[in-house]
A and B are shown apart, each in its own frame.
Chain A
Amino acid sequence: MKFILRQAWREIRNSRSFCFFYSLNLALGLTGFILVDTFRHSIEEKISNESKELLGADLALRARRIITDQELAQARRTLPAETREAKAVDFFSMAAGPTGKSRLVKVFAIDPGFPFYGSIKLKLGGDLSGDKTGLLHKQKHAWIYPETRAQLGADLGEEIQLGETKFIIADFIEEETGLSFQPTDLAPKVFISKNYLDETKLLGEGSLAFYTHLFKLPDYADANIFGKGLAKAIDSPEIRSYTHREAGHRAGRLLRYLSDFLSLVSLVALFLACLGSGFLFHGFFTHRMPEISTLISLGTTRKTTLRIFVIQLILLGIFASVPAILACSVFLPAISSMLSGFGTTKIEVFFSLPSILLTLGVATGAGWLLALPALCKVGRFSPSELFQESVRPGTISSRVTLLYSLPGLSVFWGLCIAQTHSDKLANIFFGCFLGSLVLLYLFARFGFKLGEHLFRETRFPIRLAVRSLSRNPSGALTGFLAIGLGVLLLTLIPQTHHGLAEEIGLDDPSTNLPSLFLFDLQEEQLADVEVLLKDQNIQLRNITPWVRGKIKTIRGLPYEKSNRLEKNFNNPDEQRRNAFRNRSFNLSYRDHFLESEQLLAGRPFSGNYDPLSDKPAEISVEHKYAKALDLRLGDQMGIEVAGTTINTIVVNLRRVRWTSFQPNFFVQMQPGVLDQAPKTFLGTIHHLSPQNKERVQNLLVREFPTVSILDVERTGAKILQVVGQMTWSLQLMATLSVFAGLVILFCVVREKSRSQSWEINLQKILGSTSKQIRRQIWFEFGILGGSAAIIGTLLSLLTSYLLAVEVFDRVWSFRWDLPLIVVMVVVGLSILTADLAARKVLQSKPARLLQEG
């Protein structure tokens, strides 16, 4: 072992240049990997350690309706006697300041005792635990966030109007915990006491509000065990029970999505880094073949020889981890500040031992796994070649290379699964990644051959450049794959973001986006609201009824609760599907499609429902909702509305463009069925100037304080801000991939010019000037970088289109400037990189090179 270690160390000591570039490459990939893994761990730690604070309790029941006393009694029977309870209600509402300025806020009406865990940190009152919030419950006080102060023009001691009651601003919130179910908030929170909620008259029939019942168990009780009992005891599918851990997972959902996507992008950077390091090692190892043969001829076994190089790679992996970990510690504060304001959960990003160990594991393992195709040569070549003029390293077929690449690819796939919370996402990503790799490989393999054929009559340097690419496939393919994949990632992310921004269309005056979106309009208010608006020459459009329904049966079978239990909170795919299944849902009725809807299958409604017929009522179902419920055309569904079960039949499936901000629903029923059902209304107001919009909003809040109004522009901007933050961080990671690609290109050129120094020198001897050879290298790597960038960009356009069709419901638009800039920059950088890497060989004297050759 001593000999192996010593020999491995000598290999490192005496191959400094190889070791430097190998470690630099790997360090680049590892930097992204450890950054994202640290981020991921921080989220998990936060969710695990602070889940009680995030919920504010050990267990909770939550519903979109009042939880009845009977249901609560049922729940209490499963819990220990010493359990403490508190209620909270949260909902969107308009708040108006003393000057009439208004905006949408999220009202949290809380009971004394809330939160049981964590605290509400106030500017004046300090850190208040649940037991110390007494003052809020004795008077009509409100705690608001400082940003609301400016938006409402209301300061400390002044009043804000919530519904039909005024509350005095008693303090400003600096930080708060509890009831963190949602990954992000579209409106700032306002805390009031639940004692005064009824006086606001904000919650009428059909109003959208969440009722939460929180439980604090005695210290000895295990929340998971009692959580299971609580879930079993609740029959109603409308009530969801949460343990603090489950609620924490929900709150951290957005950050977890971000960490999933970041993980995948960082894995591409890591893969590229390993690809580059693998390529470098292949060149190094091939170069070392005579020495390896000599070692074997001196009595070293092949196994020992292999161990020397594996140990060398492990040591280099450890060396590469050090700068990666150091770089990560430099970037961590930047990540923390980048994430401030992202989602509702504040994350402090910090180093964790598991992240460091995983990075070390990946660094030491990845190197030799990717070196396997090269290492396998040790078992195949014959050292007896030492007695011949030259030692030729054994060539291996591409099938064998592929076979030896499988362990590396399998580990990469395993990492994809381990680094994300979704097997589906990891598998789709891995499939796309592998597909892109194969496509890029095929383009390069056949493209260069075709190029050689097409350019055989062109100028000498171009002809020679294309021939060199075609006939030295190993380096050309590695460089092509690295740049192609890097560019694919780099352009895919902003392309997708651009599609979303275009769809939301905040900057486009011709867009049909409404200015204001009104909800919680009571039936009796509707006519008055229309009149008020008409007086202002404004039309209330898209007036749509909103009815709450419950699925009772599907295809005649009871909709079992067991189907709807969340089995795995860790898996976002399941979470989303179950969220669809679990929910009592909103539905509406109308006889026509909106422009944001598209009929996918079936037929339009046959007209108004005939109450005298015994036919089921016709429904139209959004296609993804139908998929989640496994509903097909012609399926019958029992829907309970206000205690009455309506038998319905699916007559069509439709696609909805949710980003249109038009009143859309998962289920639309034919007119004539729900006309008498209790409902509220939605409506939109279009084409208001910013000043007019504020004026109309303030007017509506003054006259109809219980109506809620969503400022679409503000909401769109908030969505784009969140998407923008995600895009920015993903983009940073993608840039790392491109940088890794360029380092690979540098290594490829360096290795290539070193291995072809004899040919380059011969060219000089035959009369080529350094300038000519340099130009040839420019052409060669300009073509390589340019073609890889073009193919990478085309693949990214295709991928972004497929993503738009499959995930974002066809939200896609082409951004032409970005691909153009990327291709031009990559060509320039490729030429520059190649020039730098080949400089040493180009500057050498031909006679000296010939002697070496």
Chain B
Amino acid sequence: MNPILKVHQVCKSYEQGNQRVKVLEKLNLHVNAGEKIAILGPSGCGKSTLLSLLAGLDKPDMGTVKIDGIDLAKMSEDERSHTRSLKLGIVFQQYHLMRNLTAIENVGLPLEILEKSDYATHALTALKEVGLSHRLTHFPSEMSGGECQRVAIARALVNQPPLVLADEPSGNLDHKTGEEVMDVLFNLCNESGTTLILVTHNRELSYRCDRALLLKDGALEETEE
């Protein structure tokens, strides 16, 4: 199978005062289409840095990050933005919905960025799929945390990207709501065959994935379970 994501020998470090702190070191990752991968690791191990690199929001110091065979590092910032709009869906821990847009407008945004005229129809379908057809015109401030995260999931999947990056999607939610939201995410990814990379602290969630990887000392290793 062709990998949808190929990360090869990626290094990333940051200046911290006078010191340079290595966050990722020769990190490798191959993810096949349709796979669900969980990335585990303690706070500060570099999970956010890795997600930034996978999303093309940051550049590695060394190594390559290829999505669908396209090397993000060789692209300009605008090209990376375009690739992101086509190939990636992202779910954040803090939802990051546009406060001044309604639920349907938030979901339709990725399609609007691609100048697709039928964005509203697709957004409506996506919202129905996450069970929010009754919340179409509500603003984020008028919805609960769980509902906001469902909107975020619908937004991540509305343009049918081959790869979804999810950063602790249930991290801000209570246990029950968190489980419901994760059910929605997993079900939708399974139905559409979308590849999912899930960054989480939650071991239980990792069991629902095909593979679980531990980010440790700047590199990924398979977990024992």
Q: Which residues of A contact B (CB under 8 A)?
A: 2-3, 6-7, 10-11, 13-15, 290-291, 293-304, 382-384, 386-389
Contact = CB atoms under 8 A, between A and B. Distances in A.
B96 A297 contact: yes
A3 B115 contact: yes
A11 B84 contact: no
- Is chain A's binding surface mostly helix, strand, loop or mixed? helix
Contacts of A383: 57
B82 to A, nearest CB: 6
A298 B48 contact: no
B57 A10 contact: no
5 shortest A-B CB distances, which residue pairs?
A299-B85, A14-B100, A384-B52, A387-B48, A384-B57
B140 to A, nearest CB: 10
B75 to A, nearest CB: 12
A298 B113 contact: yes
Contacts of A10: 100-101, 105
A754 to B, nearest CB: 14
16 contacts: A2-B115, A290-B94, A291-B98, A294-B98, A298-B109, A298-B110, A299-B84, A299-B88, A300-B85, A383-B57, A384-B57, A384-B58, A387-B47, A387-B52, A387-B93, A389-B94
Contacts of A304: 113
A416 to B, nearest CB: 38
A386 B92 contact: yes
A15 B100 contact: yes
Interface in B76-116: 77-78, 81-86, 88, 90, 92-94, 96-101, 105, 109-110, 112-115
B206 to A, nearest CB: 18
Contacts of B88: 299
Contacts of B47: 387
B167 interface: yes
Contact of B84 (A293, A297, A382): A297
B96 A294 contact: yes
Nearest to B58: A384
Nearest to A12: B100
Contacts of B90: 297-298
Given A299-B113, A384-B58, A291 B81 contact: no
Contacts of A299: 81-86, 88, 110, 113-114
A10 B98 CA distance: 11
A3 B115 CA distance: 6
Contacts of A3: 112-113, 115
B215 to A, nearest CB: 13
Given A382-B57, A387-B48, A387-B52, A298 B84 contact: yes
Contacts of B112: 3, 6-7
A598 to B, nearest CB: 66
Contacts of B181: none
Contacts of A296: 57, 81
Contacts of B101: 10, 14
Contacts of B86: 299
Between A11, A293, A297, A299, the greatest number of chain B beta carbons within 10 A of the residue's beta carbon is seen for A299
A383 to B, nearest CB: 5
Nearest to B90: A297
B57 A298 contact: no
Interface residues of B, number: 37
A297 B88 CA distance: 9
B4 interface: no
Nearest to B83: A299
A297 B167 CA distance: 13
Contacts of A2: 115
Given A300-B81, A382-B58, A11 B100 contact: yes
Contact of B48 (A15, A293, A384): A384
A730 to B, nearest CB: 42
Contacts of B100: 10-11, 13-15, 291
B55 interface: yes
B51 interface: yes
A61 to B, nearest CB: 69
Between A13, A290, A303, the greatest number of chain B beta carbons within 10 A of the residue's beta carbon is seen for A290
Contacts of B51: 384, 387
Contact of A297 (B57, B78, B83, B105): B57
A301 B99 contact: no
Given A301-B78, A387-B48, A293 B96 contact: yes
Contact of B96 (A7, A290, A302): A290
Nearest to B102: A14
Nearest to A290: B96
A299 B94 CA distance: 18
Contacts of A303: 78
A763 B168 CA distance: 33
A293 B83 CA distance: 16
Contacts of B55: 297, 384
A299 B82 CA distance: 5
Contacts of B83: 299
B48 A388 contact: yes
Contacts of B96: 290-291, 293-294, 297, 386
Nearest to B55: A297
Nearest to B84: A299
A384 B60 CA distance: 13
A8 to B, nearest CB: 12
A291 B81 CA distance: 16
Between A2, A11, A383, A387, the greatest number of chain B beta carbons within 10 A of the residue's beta carbon is seen for A387
A315 B58 CA distance: 33
Given A14-B139, A302-B77, 10 more contacts: A10-B105, A11-B100, A15-B100, A290-B96, A297-B55, A297-B57, A300-B85, A303-B78, A382-B57, A387-B51
Contacts of A384: 48-49, 51-52, 55, 57-58
A384 B115 CA distance: 24
Nearest to B82: A299
Contacts of A302: 77, 81
Nearest to A293: B96
Contacts of B93: 387
A294 B99 CA distance: 11
Contacts of A382: 52, 57-58
A14 B88 CA distance: 27
A298 B52 contact: no
Contact of A301 (B77, B94, B114): B77
A10 B104 CA distance: 13
Nearest to A291: B98
B118 to A, nearest CB: 13
A13 B52 CA distance: 32
B115 A291 contact: no
A299 B83 CA distance: 7
Interface string B51-68: 110010110000000000
A97 B90 CA distance: 96
A294 B151 CA distance: 14
Contacts of B78: 301, 303
Contacts of B105: 10
Given A291-B100, A382-B58, A387-B92, A298 B85 contact: yes
B57 A294 contact: no
Contacts of A15: 100
Contacts of B97: 294
A304 B52 CA distance: 21
A298 B139 CA distance: 19
A297 B52 CA distance: 10
A446 to B, nearest CB: 30
Contacts of B82: 299, 301
Nearest to B48: A387
Nearest to A298: B110
Between A15, A291, A293, A382, the greatest number of chain B beta carbons within 10 A of the residue's beta carbon is seen for A291
Nearest to A390: B94
A15 B85 CA distance: 26
Contacts of A294: 92, 96-98
B115 A301 contact: no
A280 to B, nearest CB: 16
A808 to B, nearest CB: 55
